[in-house]
Structure 1
Amino acid sequence: MDKDRVYLDKSEIPKQWYNIMADMPKLPAPPISPITGKPVAPEELLAIFPPALLEQEMTDKRWIDIPDEVREIISLWRPSPLIRARRLEKALGTPAKIYYKHEGVSPAGSHKTNTAVAQAYYNKEAGIKRLTTETGAGQWGSALSFSCAQFGMECRVYMVKVSYFQKPYRKAFMKMFGAEIFPSPSELTNAGREALKRNPDMPGSLGLAISEAVEEAAGRSDTNYALGSVLNHVCLHQTVIGLETQKQFAKIGAYPDMIFASCGGGSNFAGIAFPFVLDKINGKKVTAVAVEPASCPTLTKGIYTYDYGDVAKLTPIMQMYTLGHDFEPPAIHSGGLRYHGESPLVSALYNQGLITAQSVPQLEVFSSALMFAKEEGIVPAPESSHAIAATIKEALKCKESGEAKTLLFCLSGHGHFDMMSYEAFTDGKLEDYAYPEAAIAESLKNLPEVK
């Protein structure tokens, strides 16, 4: 057996998703309705989500069956390979063994397609004809546009304005699959118009793009909203990554000491880490590390409290680590990580000490990405490169200590549509952004009061 490139048969695609809520020592507090000030009732969310996804959002059932139609579509690229980065190990001179789970093999080029297919399926089953969504760097918008096309559904994407212009080929990809794309803030919604009144040159944020997409979905009976991260059901769908990885390590008789994954809203981290966190809960020694941008350090610098998931205060108020819903992150090139909050599940696990987190500055991210590309032959997405940077840092610690740790990271997506960002880096035009302490402090003044 080739222990450097570990594949699974299509029959080994997981038949069930793993729900970590069944095993957490303490669940997050319930989301609060911004209208009633009380815990959200399922019927309040039926205007934007189908019943099946709401059930998955709230259940504590450990295993959720994956519909056959969903498994058939994701079998286009799943199971994804587990690869040992031997050339990177050699370049670093480390005794550590470095493996990565390659999610960039999906049609949209990232892990996002795992949940996009599932969400489109459940909405189609509920009779929904259109989906609206937000996207940062465009991976989620690409995944949802592809998935809507599989089920004959319309797709409208509000893309954060700074990324709309930084990532032109993401727009082209989405249009190939029939999606409409608009830069956010836009003139199409009340939330967008209000933002433009405050600042006509606003670069946008994921929180604001969410507001625009939710506003449109709530105003049309044929339209629902789809979210690419944060929520429980999104994290659930992504666990196919970790479940496959466990099978692959078992095939070669190995197990990771540490797991690294980039973390914005939390779905990528949850996908690879949650099945291993269950191992940790059951006594296995493993450390899962969520890696975030130094300029948008939600877990490492935010506070654990209730906050809105969007700028316009349309979404439920969730208990999570947050930098404040008004926070406008600097215009870094990892657009998918520019979110003020964090998944309530990831937040709760971090608060309970079951996972750890660290942040990485932009220039280190791109430097690590170039090293990985040169050694392993894959151009990684800037978001994924946060995990690469943290893995390299740990591998160099192993070089100093002589420890032969087994390190795993999730290569959550390729960077083929991010070449403008790489060109800016190689031309010396990128910069590191200082931790925006004053902006975050100001934003945290406007947290909601929850009794």
Structure 2
Amino acid sequence: MTHKEILRLSIEEMPRSYYNIAADLKIPLSPPLHPATMEPIGPEDLAPLFPMELIKQEVTQERYITIPEPVREIYSQIRPTPIYRAKRLEDFLDTGAKIYYKYEGVSPAGSHKTNTAIPQAYYNHKEGVEKLVTETGAGQWGTALSYATSFFDMELEIFMVRVSYDTKPYRKTLMKLFNDKTIVHPSPSRLTEFGNKLLDQNPNHPGSLGIAIGEAIEQTMKTGSKYSLGSVLNHVLIHQTIIGQEAKIQMNAIDNYPDIIIGCVGGGSNLAGLAYPFIKDKIEKKYDTEIIAVESEAAPKMTKGQIGYDFGDSGQMTPLLRMYSIGSDFIPPPVHAGGLRYHGLAPTLTALLEQNLVIAKAYPQVEVFDAAKIFIQTEGIIPAPESSHAIVETIKQARKIPKGTDKTILFNLSGHGYLDLLGYEEYLQGTMQDHVANATDITKSIQTIKISN
């Protein structure tokens, strides 16, 4: 039996800066628009929601942003994360590809989300913020922020998408265990005007990330606290690039630069985290790595949406972002990959898709779980349903690579699925449905995008 190949880094080798891809985009990003005036927003418009340091990171053109030492100290408890070679998966597929995965599920919260939760909590605490309000889909982000705020003795209020609140109960338990000052509400809720309106229309509303974001922002404004977001915005994606920077060092240590990089996409942060440092090389024409972004067919903003200015939330309270979207009022079907049930896409990732630096794929739920089962039985790790979207594309790519071909695939295993066993049980019982987004609903929802260009 061959030993498992594991690529590790020492704490001293952990990156000291984040990478900001906005500095290298050939076409500047379009500015966010104020929801009331439809004019470009300024820092003062974001100040009620975010601390000033995060606002600066959102708009900066600096290529590298220093990681504060207190953040690195906390990171050192969970990072650098390992890269594994999936040799048994390679053998099962009878492929010529070498398959590697960066495993972010080793973090205490179980996913990549801690990479931005920690600096967000730090910057808020540094500016005197005592309470954060946020949303969470499947619960990974809420768990990560609960973990992060515990280091700074901060309060945390979370609006969790109702379908995940009901089907992933132990996520709530984990959030409360990490931080005694954490409160978790199902979304939509009776705590906000927006939530009340939706529940009056449908008492069994499944919720969505767009709705939970709207409720969290309304509650933030009502309570005078600050808001924290787990994806989409540039400062969030910047923090995640510690993943890809580590991966470049790890792969360089074995003299192997990936030919294909794959990640799942909800808002875009985990794909960005792994891929953006490699895309920098692609922009500079040093390498021609194929970057593949994989979404759920329940929320196909990249493959069936359109580019335009749209709200980040269903309550239409956020600034409008120029992004791929299927419309902010679109309610994705209740798939188990709750973190992918989002209508929009990060503006930076939208720009990269426009410039053909990234390609998009979408898969239905059952096919994703088919791939996850293969991975479980070959690699011994239960992947999160979200991360399994990267696995299904990895398997498809590997099967196209014949023996004797020297090609390397690297994907982001962004989280574990040990708290997603209800979904796996449904899959094993044969009762799982694909829940593909309805084309008519998408067409209707897309019409709500305010400005299309």
Instruction: Report the TM range for the smaller structure's normalisation.
Output: over 0.9
Percent of aligned pairs with the same amino acid:
50
String of CA shifts for 1:376-410, please: whole Å, max 9, x gaps: 111000000000000000001113x8633200100
The aligned counterpart of 2:382 is 379
- Shift of the alpha carbon at 1:190? 0.9
Equivalent residues of 1:262, 1:290 under 8 A apart: yes
Confirm whether residue 365 of structure 1 aligns to residue 368 of structure 2.
yes
The aligned counterpart of 1:323 is 326
Give the aligned residue type for 2:395: I
| Counterparts of 2:176 and 2:431, CA distance in 1 | 29
| Counterparts of 1:48 and 1:450, CA distance in 2 | 26
Instruction: Work out which of the residue numbers 204, 211, 214 in structure 2 matches 1:211.
Output: 214
| Counterparts of 1:307 and 1:440, CA distance in 2 | 14
Give the aligned residue type for 1:141: G
- Shift of the alpha carbon at 1:435? 3.9
With normalisation by structure 2, the TM-score equals 0.97
Confirm whether residue 252 of structure 1 aligns to residue 254 of structure 2.
yes
- Structure 2's unaligned 5+ residue stretches are none
The aligned counterpart of 1:441 is 443
The aligned counterpart of 2:408 is 406
Equivalent residues of 1:37, 1:450 under 8 A apart: no
Give the aligned residue type for 1:294: E
| Counterparts of 2:204 and 2:446, CA distance in 1 | 23
Secondary structure of 1:48's counterpart equals coil
Equivalent residues of 1:3, 1:252 under 8 A apart: no
| Counterparts of 2:444 and 2:202, CA distance in 1 | 17
String of CA shifts for 1:168-226, please: whole Å, max 9, x gaps: 110110111221111000000111111112222110000000000011111223x1000
The aligned counterpart of 1:428 is 430
Give the aligned residue type for 1:246: K
| Counterparts of 1:409 and 1:374, CA distance in 2 | 18
The aligned counterpart of 1:102 is 103
- Shift of the alpha carbon at 1:95? 0.8
The aligned counterpart of 2:347 is 344
The aligned counterpart of 1:397 is 400
Q: Which region of structure 1 is more displaced relative to structure 2, 294-303 or 3-12?
A: 3-12
String of CA shifts for 1:295-319, please: whole Å, max 9, x gaps: 2111111101110000111000000
Distance 1:3 1:254, change over 3 A: farther
Report how many residues are paired: 448
| Counterparts of 2:451 and 2:298, CA distance in 1 | 26
- Shift of the alpha carbon at 1:3? 8.8
The aligned counterpart of 1:240 is 242
Instruction: Work out which of the residue numbers 259, 266, 269 in structure 2 matches 1:264.
Output: 266
The aligned counterpart of 1:31 is 32
- Give structure 1 regions of 4+ aligned residues with deviation exceeding 6 angstroms: none
Equivalent residues of 1:111, 1:412 under 8 A apart: yes
The aligned counterpart of 2:183 is 180
With normalisation by structure 1, the TM-score equals 0.98
String of CA shifts for 1:318-347, please: whole Å, max 9, x gaps: 000000001000000000000000000001
| Counterparts of 2:221 and 2:346, CA distance in 1 | 22
The aligned counterpart of 1:49 is 50
The aligned counterpart of 2:223 is 220
The aligned counterpart of 1:22 is 23
String of CA shifts for 1:239-258, please: whole Å, max 9, x gaps: 00000000001100101000
| Counterparts of 1:422 and 1:3, CA distance in 2 | 26
String of CA shifts for 1:72-100, please: whole Å, max 9, x gaps: 00111100001100000001111100000
- Shift of the alpha carbon at 1:20? 0.4
